Structures are given as structure tokens and as C-alpha cells.
Copies of this chain bind each other. A is one copy, B any other.
């Protein structure tokens, strides 16, 4: 096993506290702009202490990204298995993006962080995979381009309209994406 685990709910586990603080700082300032020194200071430990729990900064970043990666992989699995109608697929996609808004905002700020740890292995396949899932494995150039416009545009609306009412935004954005898809 990895580390101590309290039987009560308290999170005294250092690793957990590091990930919590890191998540908050990364979302607020981006990955590159947040130093391990900053994270260590806020935890009242030395920078070197972080290196006991994480071999490299990249590993810490990878752990912060993990829940988002799991959620996206989950979305793929569901859509690949159940083949929902396009509207339903895009709506649940919108919700995944919405759920991880903070982390995705940090990624938008410096996408180089996606190469952290083994996160890159997953993310590298997403582009191709979303094409396959929405347009089929043998899609034409036109179908793939339309899918790109729909998916990329849809994802961006989440970060660009943070003050909009969520249900309304989802409806409008998904409608626009569906028209781009021409279905």
C-alpha cells in the first residue's frame, strides 16, 4: 500500500494535502507559474518534503490531472459502448468539460503540462478517438473537420461564458455544435 490511511474522515495524509493545495494553486496560476516552493510554503514544509511523495513536479501534475483523465476516459467508454444519439453524446461531453473547468483552464494556460507523467499517453489519443466515436472509423475529411469544429467550439464555450446559466448555455452550445456536425 502507499501511505497511512486514517480510519476517521480527516485528511492528515500529507500526499493528499499536497494534491489539494497543488490543485488549487495550479487552477489559480497555471502549472508553470506555480513553484513547488509556493506549495511547500503553504503546507508549512520544505520543498524537499514534496520530493518524498512525488519524484518530479510532473508526477504531481499528473496526479492533479488524474480525476479529469478518468472522467474523460469514462465518457469515451460510455459513448463507445452505448452509441447514444449525437445530442446526448455532446451534452454529456459538455458536462464533463464543465465538471473539470478549473483544471481545464489551467491546461488551457499551458498545455505543455499535458505531457506530465503518463497523462500524455491518454490525451494523445483523444483527438483521434473523438473523431471515431462521433463520425465513425472511416469518416471522410469533411466529417472529421465538422466534428472538430463542433467539439473544439463546444468545449471552449464552457470557459468563455462562466457567468451564463448552465442549462441555457449547454442547450445553445450543443445546438450550435450539432449544426456544425450537420445532423
Contact = CB atoms under 8 A, between A and B. Distances in A.
Interface string A145-183: 110111111101100110010001100110011011010
The majority secondary structure among interface residues of chain A is helix
Copies per assembly: 2
* Highest count of chain B CB atoms <10 Å: which of A109, A149, A182: A149
A30 B153 CA distance: 23
Nearest to A165: B141
A112 interface: yes
A164 B176 contact: no
Contacts of A169: 141, 145
Nearest to A168: B141
Contacts of A141: 161, 164, 168-169, 172
A111 interface: yes
Given A141-B164, A145-B176, A112 B110 contact: yes
A127 interface: yes
A148 to B, nearest CB: 5
A175 to B, nearest CB: 8
A4 B1 CA distance: 67
Interface of A: 30, 32-33, 108-112, 127, 141-142, 144-146, 148-154, 156-157, 160-161, 164, 168-169, 172-173, 176-177, 179-180, 182
Contact of A179 (B144, B154, B157, B180): B180
Contact of A150 (B33, B153, B172): B153
A49 to B, nearest CB: 26
A179 B177 CA distance: 9
A156 B147 CA distance: 11
A106 to B, nearest CB: 11
A157 B168 CA distance: 27
